[in-house]
Amino acid sequence: MSVSVRIPTILRTYTDGASEVNGEGATLREVLQKLDADFPGIGARILDETGKIRRFVNVYVGEEDVRFADGLDTVTPDGVQISVIPAVAGG
């Protein structure tokens, strides 16, 4: 499945400044693996050392927060947009 992945500003150093890149995979896990293969190092910023989505990173497949769907096993239909959104904190 061909998808688009929106890249947050903080991770654009991995994508040469691109705010959106093409991805492929039938599940979010496959899309993130391909994303990391195309842009080495970006996967470690999204997934922790155990392979789970980092606590302060939100990932949406279309309008759906994958934490409330099937997580990394969430199906990625052809043409869907995936958004990676890091949490912002401050004080």
Query: What's the pLDDT tens digit per position in 24-54?
Result: 999 999 999 999 999 999 999 999 999 999 9
Q: Are 20 and 7 in contact (CB under 8 A)?
A: yes
Q: pTM here?
A: 0.92
Beta bridge partners of 61: 64, 82
Three state DSSP letters for 11-36: HCCCCCCCCEEEEECCEHHHHHHHHH
CATH of domain 2-86: 3.10.20.30
Q: How many angstroms separate the CA atoms of 47 and 30, rounded?
A: 13
Domain-by-domain residue ranges, the chain?
Answer: 2-86
Report how far residue 29's alpha carbon sits from residue 26's, in angstroms, rounded to the nearest whole number: 8
Q: Kindly calculate the radius of gyration of the chain based on its CA atoms and give it in whole angstroms.
A: 12
